[in-house]
Structure 1
């Protein structure tokens, strides 16, 4: 009661049910102790020998060992059985304990960089992201954030070099995928003609889908995302299969670059659905 139930009202407590004769327990024990130590006091570990305390194991419904239960606010909230790999133990403890103070501080720093970027202070945001990368060269939020800052500044080559810092196997992370889509869009629009010329072509022929497509890309590059979406939707409305459904595919690239929860992504998806399923 004192070491687990009462203590769990102050911090999460892990209870490791084990026995001296249990082989997997000997494998799990050192790993879980190591990960708890690395958590720097965010969780407490209590080891319970079921041979010495069979009644408690029975009360918790322990049918096989090793078995680990996490207590928070006086009650068990999660657990696992068997000897998990160290990476999964870390994920379990991180889920129970929440971010470390250092991680919480980093989240605040990254949030301030995003706020600066949103307010148009691209240089200030880039400076914060670069400072984070000096401490952690593999921080995906900082890599993607700095990439977007460089895109906004027109430094596409440096943006591509920054994106190359992404560790192998992390390319599919939503932050990274979004930054890459934004960079691809910027490179795609680098050689597009003058807006006025494209508008004149479109005024002369409303079915000049290439002009409308290029105009959409140019408008998005200049921040006019709503008109860009409307032009692509118009292509789909007039000729859905034009250029192997290029307009629909371009919209999907917009969505990836903007992020799934961006208001314009949500609105554009609604418009796209209304056209495709009308």
Structure 2
């Protein structure tokens, strides 16, 4: 993830103290330091209000900027005290200017009225927003960020097939194929045969076909020189998709289907459907390409 050991430890501490509790509760995150006079004046206010609002799902977390410089830098803390409201891992409000009990309570009341904060206990996590966040990162082509999101979710739901599928596909998108293999190999039944996991398995299988640049160039040239050579077209389409050129791959396969949809027992259509399954049938690109396929098949 590009972090050194100390930074990774800082992230782990933050995840346990702030990110994980914020999945269901509202975390008041206070950046402070021992030498900060205004911080010492604000601390009793924060502690008192957090205690009074505990039954509404509010908790207080404190970050010493001298001890956690990396975390402070990630939040771009320029002065202290700096206070944020955190929900589901994201800042939802800046509470820094709330210096009195009444100001802080007023802001908290407004926030709590808008968010599905769950007071007390440890209720079942609502993973849908977090999974959506990971899928959005994947759709945007940021495999590394998506992997980081899915790894955090996996800590909360280690046996969730949808999360495991997201993590494997994130590793594939980031080019971390060995790690994707390791996750797949670690799964037993029934997870291994779950449709979500099978989707990730297909994505990994397609990615393993990624050719060297010189090989891709040769396949591209062969396909261009021999447009009627279906074997050359199919080989190029598979290599192009594995190399990240999914538009080119789809266009090639659609031309093949239009030319001879029955060739090799419908191999071109089968390859395109395999690509659809690997990406996900709900993906906007897949939906658009399926419409193109319907036009080719049914006019």
TM range (shorter): 0.5 to 0.7
Structure 2 equivalent of residue 128 of structure 1: 149
Q: In 2, Cα distance between the equivalents of 1:161 and 1:191?
A: 23
- TM-score computed with the length of structure 1 as normaliser: 0.56
Q: Does 1:151 align with 2:192?
A: no
Q: Does 1:178 align with 2:199?
A: yes
Structure 1 equivalent of residue 259 of structure 2: 238
The equivalences for 1:81-230 within 5 A come to 101-104=123-126, 106-171=127-192, 173-190=194-211, 194-230=215-251
Q: In 2, Cα distance between the equivalents of 1:222 and 1:180?
A: 17
Structure (1 or 2) with the larger CA radius of gyration: 1
Structure 1 residue 172, shift from structure 2 partner: 5.3
Q: Secondary structure at the match of 2:158?
A: coil
Q: In 2, Cα distance between the equivalents of 1:205 and 1:264?
A: 28
> C-alpha root-mean-square deviation of aligned residues, in Å?
2.6
Q: Secondary structure at the match of 2:179?
A: helix
Post-superposition Cα deviations, 1:3-25, rounded to whole Å, max 9, x if no partner, equal xxxxxxxxxxxxxxxxxxxxxxx
Post-superposition Cα deviations, 1:82-124, rounded to whole Å, max 9, x if no partner, equal xxxxxxxxxxxxxxxxxx95322x3333333333333444323
Structure 1 residue 154, shift from structure 2 partner: 2.2
Q: In 2, Cα distance between the equivalents of 1:234 and 1:119?
A: 27
Structure 1 equivalent of residue 102 of structure 2: none
Q: Does 1:258 align with 2:279?
A: yes
- TM-score computed with the length of structure 2 as normaliser: 0.52
2:150–2:166: 8 Å Cα contact kept in structure 1? yes
Post-superposition Cα deviations, 1:241-261, rounded to whole Å, max 9, x if no partner, equal 322221111011011112122
1:143–1:165: 8 Å Cα contact kept in structure 2? no
Structure 1 residues 241 and 166: alpha-carbon distance in aligned structure 2, compared to 1, 3 A threshold? same
Question: Any stretches of 5+ residues in structure 1 without a counterpart?
Answer: 1-99
Question: Any stretches of 5+ residues in structure 2 without a counterpart?
Answer: 1-121
Structure 1 residues 276 and 118: alpha-carbon distance in aligned structure 2, compared to 1, 3 A threshold? closer
